[in-house]
Amino acid sequence: MTRRGTKIAMFVAALATVLTGLLGWSPASAEAAPGGGRVVVIGVPGLRWSDISPATTPALWGLTAAGSASGLSVRTTRVNTCPTDGWLTLSAGQRSRLPHGDCALPSAPILPGQSSPTGPPPQGGAIAAGWPAIKSDNAGTNYHAEIGLLGDAVHKAGGCTMAVGPGAVFGVGDGGGRVDRYVASPDKVTAADWGRCPLTAVEVDELFRAYINAGVDPHGDQVPLSDAGRADAAAAADRRVAQVVAGVPAGTTILVAGLSDVGIDPHLRVAIAKGTGYRPGFMTSSATRQEGLVTLTDTTATTLKLLGLPQPKAAVGSAWKPQPSKATTQERVDALMDEDVAAQAIRAVQTSFYWVLFATQLVLYGIAVLALRRLRGDRRSRARILGGTRVIALLGGAVPGASFLAGLLPWWRADHPTAVLICTVLGFAALLTGAALAGPWRHSMVVPGLVITGVTALVLALDVMTGSNLQLNTLMGYTALIAGRFYGFGNQAFSLFAVAAILTAAWLTEYPLRRDRKLVAVAVVAVIGVCTVMVDGLPAFGSDFGGVLAIVPAFAMLGLMVAGKRVSAPKLGIFFVAGAALVLFISYLNAQSANPTHLGRFWQDLVAGDAWSVVTRKFNAMLNSLGYWPYTLALAAAIVFLFFVLARPTRWRVSLLQGAYQRSLTMRPALICALAVGVIGTLVNDSGVVILSVAFSLATPLMLAAGVRSLEMDLRNADTPPPGPSESPGASTESPSAERR
């Protein structure tokens, strides 16, 4: 299991990983899941790794010791996944739900002799209650889940399905909701039943039932089940699991999945695979690329692969892959518990972090305005005010990158994790700020900001090239509980990376431009632009579709501005089309691979004529992020106004920007192109306005720091006495070009 402390060593191996990644992602420790045979899926809603111990749950402990184990992300269409939602997701291989959202025990099935709107149940079998309405509802969601996919695949291959418990019927029922054999509980299954069908699903609902029996609303605001009550329920569930393990024929692969939430907060659940090919260790999948982490939709793909059946396109998961480990069973359980603790800790602070970050920056800007108004005092006071404002601005610009570096330390294990996280982020931000002001470049207007943007871009690039470990469970990254993404660049990280790369490229051209070497400056922009697109867009690294659409025109715009060429709307349109063509080419290549990512699947949808639904879903999500249309119009007006301010600060009497532009040849293109990548990124990604906000969180404080430095230079020049009789005006100790820097 990869620990956070090993990430520093992973950074050192970045070059080797880059070369491996260019050939395709294939971790050395991962093995392909075996194919063919009999499968029993045991669903234990609400089961966590903290429930498992050798004393309380000996059967589950034994399965863990003999098989492969992992954390299981069970997020479906709601914040909390109910048991029936989990079973339906297994059925479809796609995020699914019960239409009315009643988080209760699954409904009893329709048995032979009872009427059903889809016809009579098979003899000895059953039909899931309310199946037609469930199918219709899920077909109309954004995910277009095909309920009954798993059961249909088994039936098409000539096999049969058996369900043990009401919930299991929802998991392995076919397109009509039918299972061939139904048994109410594991203790009523005969030896002949266990060998009857290649696929059996078993519901073990003791944990969820304990909450219901205790009078606790599993997803309400009441006090959750006591520790003793939960331990008793886990022990009862373990006894059911022991009955299944004792009854299944030899050679059967057993999959255990804690396939839903139970209690107030979502958690990572238990995933265990025991059978041929699954040796003691951890698991991963191509859907997560994270050691010790798989998803609920991966369970469907795993079941199909174990049965030797092809995976339909509508099933989006990937098979569980064993990762053998020499760690003891206790060490593996502890590591997986720690994974859930980290997910819980970041969930508690991630949303508030954005509010605190942006509110703090607003306060910072207010303090800067008040400080700048006090420049009428003596020279020493004015210098202190400007110097302090500049340091605080650089610190604010360093915070976003520092929030990822904080993942190098296990802050979530502290008694007060939120306080430790804040101190860790501020500590790394202080280190970045110290590096920005440590050398002779501290007198420059652009180099301190360049240090911060360069480090930020480099850290994020190395991270996605070495497994995206700093992205997971990070303040500006993604979490396993939301399960929107597990590798590559999330939308917030993309925005930060793209803006950092734009600013880095622009400010690196400062010195070639001063020597009138425009060709060198354009070459710098081109090289950094190509590297940025590769890191962001290649499936082995960032695997970001919308990011390429934003980065290509923004860097092309920067190249034109650096070269002194005019930027026009038709040119930007051409660059955007070029970005679209490039990302489609990447998607086409990825679609040819054995395990295509969402990039490759988009190409497949495009060829099949289904891509429009994906585009519509993301566009609607982007619009939802903007809120009501008056707010959208106000935001658009503010962006247009900001563009004109950045383009012509003199006209709007923004002296801070005007001074920065006078002393830097690249400040104007840097800020305009940073705004461009934020705006385009907002329009082509489903996170919407969040992307623009993250772009501002980096560009604005660094712009402020540069502007304050220009005022410091003005102050110094104003206090410099005129040359004496023996001095010539050209004898100044600092040249104008040095002053501009």
3-state secondary structure of 167: helix
CB 688 within 8 A of CB 696: no
Joined together, the tokens standing for residue 456 give 């930020």
Confidence of residue 136 (pLDDT cuts 50, 70, 90): very high
User: The pTM is what?
Assistant: 0.85
Q: For residue 260, how many other CB atoms are within 10 A of its CB?
A: 30
Chain segment 5-33, per-residue pLDDT in tens: 444 444 334 434 443 444 343 333 333 33
C-alpha span between 680 and 117 (Å, rounded): 50
What confidence tier does 384 reach under pLDDT thresholds 50, 70, 90?
A: confident
Copy the structure tokens of residue 725: 């009789």
Q: Which of 159-163, 165-169, 487-491, 619-623 has the lowest mean pLDDT?
A: 619-623
pLDDT surpassing 50 at residue 320:
yes
CA-to-CA distance for 537 and 583, rounded, in angstroms?
Answer: 7
Looking at the predicted structure, is the pLDDT value of residue 734 above 50? Answer: no
For tokens 């480990």, the residue is 325
Percentage of residues of the chain with pLDDT beyond 90: 56
> pLDDT tens digit string along 520-552?
999 999 999 999 999 999 999 999 988 999 999
Higher pLDDT, 508 or 362: 508
| Every domain of the chain and the residues it spans | 36-326, 348-718
Question: For helices 667-684 and 611-626, what crossing angle results, to 10°?
Answer: 120
How far apart, in whole angstroms, are the C-alpha atoms of residue 371 and residue 260?
54
Domain spanning 36-326 has what CATH number? Answer: 3.40.720.10
Q: Judge residue 51's burial from the number of C-beta atoms within 10 Å of its C-beta, 0-12 exposed, 13-18 middle, 19 or more buried.
A: buried
Q: Which residue has the higher pLDDT, 445 or 282?
A: 282
pLDDT in tens, 448-467: 999 999 999 999 999 999 99
pLDDT in the model for residue 625: 61
Which of 325, 396, 417 is closest to 708 using CA atoms? 396
- pLDDT one-digit tens code per residue, 160-177: 999 999 999 999 999 999
